[in-house]
Amino acid sequence: MKILLVEDDQIFAEQLSIDLIRHNYLVEVVPDAESGWEYAHATNYDLIVLDVQLPDSDGISLCQKLRQAHYESAILLLTANSDSADKVKGLDAGADDYVVKPCTSEELCARIRALLRRPRAVAVTVLQCGGLRLDPSTCDVAYLDKKITLSPKEYVLLELFLRNPHRVFSSGVLLEKLWSFEETPGEETIRTHIKRLRRKLKQAGAHQVIENVYGMGYRLNSSLAAEYDQTADSRKPPRVPKAVTDATPKTTSAALQSAARGTALSVISRFRPEFLERLTALDQFSAGLTLGDRSEQLQQQARHAVHKLIGSLGMFGLVDASQHCQAIDAILQTPAEEIDPANLRQLVMQLHQQLDPILAVPSSTASKTPSPSAATRLTTAAPPTLMLITNEPDDFAELQAIAPLATVQPIQVHHQLLEQEPNLLLLDMAAFVEPSHGLTLLTTLVSQFPNLPIVVLGGTDTFQLRLAVARCGGMCTYLLRTLPPSELWDSLSSWYYQHGTIKPHILAVDDDPVILETLSHQLAANGFQVTTLQEPGRLWESLALVRPDLLLLDFEMPEINGIELCRIIRADKHWQHLPIVFLSGQQDLELIQKIYQAGADDYISKPITQPELIIRILNRVRRSQQMLT
């Protein structure tokens, strides 16, 4: 079954998608109401899961708009607001169910399964046709108690035929039901999957389950469909009161809560940058409030951040932290001038005490011993450990002789990565019949392991394939698998050392403690080591102690300005090549010219956006490292 998730919280959306995909649902995610409207009218979904608070509109309005356009599929609303009036408003707008965050993934998946069963008046938990049995709750398939192992696409195909025993499905409709917009293959793929499904059913003893209808498509065998009707007529499911069916499952077992927390600790590291960004929004508003800045914009950002924290923390089973965020949210609902800064700051600090150990927030305090320079770290670093995804390990025997290389088949890669994550992952495109299959796996790996460098090894040097790899995002690059082993190893090592595997150390100098705190959170969340300095007069001793890979300088500081500091640094031969990036709220062209004349490498104007800051710092550090190597 196909589900559209309209949710701007990347953490919540990704984790829910993973859980739904595990239950063999096909999930497409869009971040705003406009995209949700377009997707809903472009294809048929069995369910739309719709967040109420979206960046461009509210989910209730979108739900109402869909119903006015006679959209008939089920709609489930999600919100962090538990007010009963909002629930009534959402249900009156045409929603079929309304779930309040925080909620666990298990609860939400159960609600979705229940909602998808409702349209069938005689729907049953287990789909059975003669000796063939499919259980959607466990994704088990069996024929006469003999278990049948199916791929996700084969499973969805069989479920579709069993749920619609008399319907004929064309290849085009099956493509729409089983694949998303981005990965839709040709009709030959449908024929291949049908052939494989038939073969597996036949091996288990279930013959001629799916039949061809000439010129039209495929359907459940007509004799089996009649048998299915008789089975359905004789089946009388127990009547369950609606209040019980729709009640929110309550978990009172301490063991279940402990297991949920364990799962959260193992998964939450993937979303560490997003969690830290949301905590930073709370820190900024709280710090500003303490200093007398009652910025409405910062308050709105803090409210938006805490709403997302409520939902995502609940999704990971961190109920106490989620409830703590609800208390903060209640304070943020009031006008800024009525908020007690000390009370808010205390609550935010308590939230940090709950989350910082889980997020493993690094300290920004400088070490008492000098850090090695970037050049020293690059030349003394151990060679990267490699994992190669391939079906032909013999093709890479020479590379394996000179590099720490382990091989794994595509079907085993997720398990192996959870067991032990390498420094560098290699993906052999020759392991896949179609390049799109390899790119699909690459997209999944980038989503699940965003900080893992991945090198795609291809047999042809085409711009189209390089572009497709680049569009997968993450830390990906493309190399030819036909390179000589020694040259390939040199290219892999060089790319590894230049792309963030050795954490760059940033020294940030600014007299504004709020700016320093923000920079520290944003840079640490993206894998940098950070030392902050509020007293520009101590810069010289800090340079010798920290030996940074890049210096961030504010222009306007008391006693000494940034241009003077830059000139002092450039006059010393030891620091002539240190990348220096200026941060300033000034837009004067003459001033900017003076900054570059003093020896600065780059200039970023305040207010600073995190993506721009990270990209520009990374570019400067990587160019410097390339020169050093």
Helix (H, G, I), strand (E, B) or coil at 51: strand
* 492 vs 509, higher pLDDT: 509
Say which CATH topology domain 505-628 has.
Rossmann fold (3.40.50)
Say which CATH topology domain 269-359 has.
Four Helix Bundle (Hemerythrin (Met), subunit A) (1.20.120)
**Per-residue pLDDT at 379:** 41
Poorest-pLDDT segment among 117-131, 257-271, 370-384, 494-508: 370-384
Is the per-residue pLDDT at 31 higher than 50? yes
**Per-residue pLDDT at 256:** 43
Instruction: For residues 430 and 310, give the distance between their C-alpha atoms in angstroms, rounded to a whole number.
Output: 44
Exposure string of 80-93, with b = 16+ CB inside 10 Å and e = fewer, is beeeeebbebbeeb
| pLDDT tier at 235, thresholds 50, 70, 90 | very low
Say which CATH topology domain 383-485 has.
Rossmann fold (3.40.50)
Is the per-residue pLDDT at 375 higher than 60? no
Is the per-residue pLDDT at 251 higher than 70? no
- Among 253-267, 270-284, 461-475, name the most confident range: 461-475
Instruction: Provide the greatest CA pair distance for the chain.
Output: 91
Instruction: For residues 593 and 582, give the distance between their C-alpha atoms in angstroms, rounded to a whole number.
Output: 12
Q: DSSP state, 403?
A: S
The reply to whether CATH 1.10.10.10 applies to domain 127-234 is yes
Beta bridge partners of 49: 5, 76
Is the per-residue pLDDT at 244 higher than 70? no
Instruction: For residues 105 and 123, give the distance between their C-alpha atoms in angstroms, rounded to a whole number.
Output: 23
Instruction: For residues 529 and 532, give the distance between their C-alpha atoms in angstroms, rounded to a whole number.
Output: 10
**Per-residue pLDDT at 228:** 57
Predicted confidence (pLDDT) per residue in 544-562, tens digit: 778 888 999 988 887 888 8
| pLDDT tier at 567, thresholds 50, 70, 90 | very high
**Strands in 394-453 per DSSP E:** 405-408, 424-428
| pLDDT tier at 368, thresholds 50, 70, 90 | very low
Poorest-pLDDT segment among 261-275, 484-498, 567-581: 261-275
Q: What percent of the chain stands above pLDDT 90?
A: 9
Closest CA to 540 of 529, 530, 551: 551
**Strands in 32-173 per DSSP E:** 47-51, 74-79, 97-100, 127-129, 132-135, 140-143, 146-147
**Per-residue pLDDT at 230:** 55
pLDDT, average across residues 324-347: 86
Give, in order, the Cα–Cα distances in Å from 254 to each of 232, 357, 529.
40, 21, 38
* 174 vs 104, higher pLDDT: 174
Sequence ranges of the chain with CATH classification 1.20.120: 269-359
Architecture in CATH of 2-117: 3-Layer(aba) Sandwich (3.40)
Predicted confidence (pLDDT) per residue in 262-272, tens digit: 545 555 666 77
Is the per-residue pLDDT at 377 higher than 70? no
Is the per-residue pLDDT at 96 higher than 50? yes
Percentages of the chain per state (helix, strand, coil), in multiples of 5:
55, 15, 30
| pLDDT tier at 162, thresholds 50, 70, 90 | confident
**Per-residue pLDDT at 225:** 60
| pLDDT tier at 242, thresholds 50, 70, 90 | very low
Sequence ranges of the chain with CATH classification 1.10.10.10: 127-234
**Per-residue pLDDT at 294:** 77
Which long-range contacts does 333-341 make (Cβ < 8 Å, 24+ apart)?
333/303, 336/289, 336/294, 336/295, 336/296, 336/299, 337/294, 339/289, 341/286, 341/289, 341/290
pTM above 0.85, yes or no: no
Is the per-residue pLDDT at 239 higher than 50? no
Exposure string of 460-487, with b = 16+ CB inside 10 Å and e = fewer, is eeeeebeebbeebebbbebbebeeeeee
Closest CA to 17 of 178, 25, 117: 25
Predicted confidence (pLDDT) per residue in 295-319, tens digit: 888 888 888 888 888 877 766 667 7
**Per-residue pLDDT at 104:** 74
Q: What percent of the chain stands above pLDDT 70?
A: 83
Sequence ranges of the chain with CATH classification 3.40.50.2300: 2-117, 383-485, 505-628
Closest CA to 250 of 52, 110, 84, 97: 110
Name 124's Cβ contacts closer than 8 Å, sequence gap at least 6: 232, 235, 237
**Per-residue pLDDT at 363:** 38
Joined tokens for residue 282: 């709370």
**Per-residue pLDDT at 125:** 58
Helix (H, G, I), strand (E, B) or coil at 436: helix
Helical segments of 145-186, H only = 152-163, 171-178
* 475 vs 478, higher pLDDT: 478
Please say whether the beta carbons of 219 and 169 come within 8 A: yes
Is the per-residue pLDDT at 151 higher than 60? yes
Predicted confidence (pLDDT) per residue in 412-461, tens digit: 887 788 777 788 889 999 988 888 888 988 988 888 887 788 999 998 88
Name 109's Cβ contacts closer than 8 Å, sequence gap at least 6: 19, 20, 23
| pLDDT tier at 165, thresholds 50, 70, 90 | confident
Helix axes 296-315, 10-22, angle to 10 degrees: 20
**Per-residue pLDDT at 59:** 87
Predicted confidence (pLDDT) per residue in 571-623, tens digit: 888 788 899 999 877 778 888 889 989 999 888 876 667 777 887 887 787 77
Helix axes 539-546, 562-570, angle to 10 degrees: 50
Joined tokens for residue 79: 């919100």
Q: What's the chain's average pLDDT?
A: 78
Instruction: For residues 525 and 518, give the distance between their C-alpha atoms in angstroms, rounded to a whole number.
Output: 11
Instruction: For residues 450 and 444, give the distance between their C-alpha atoms in angstroms, rounded to a whole number.
Output: 10
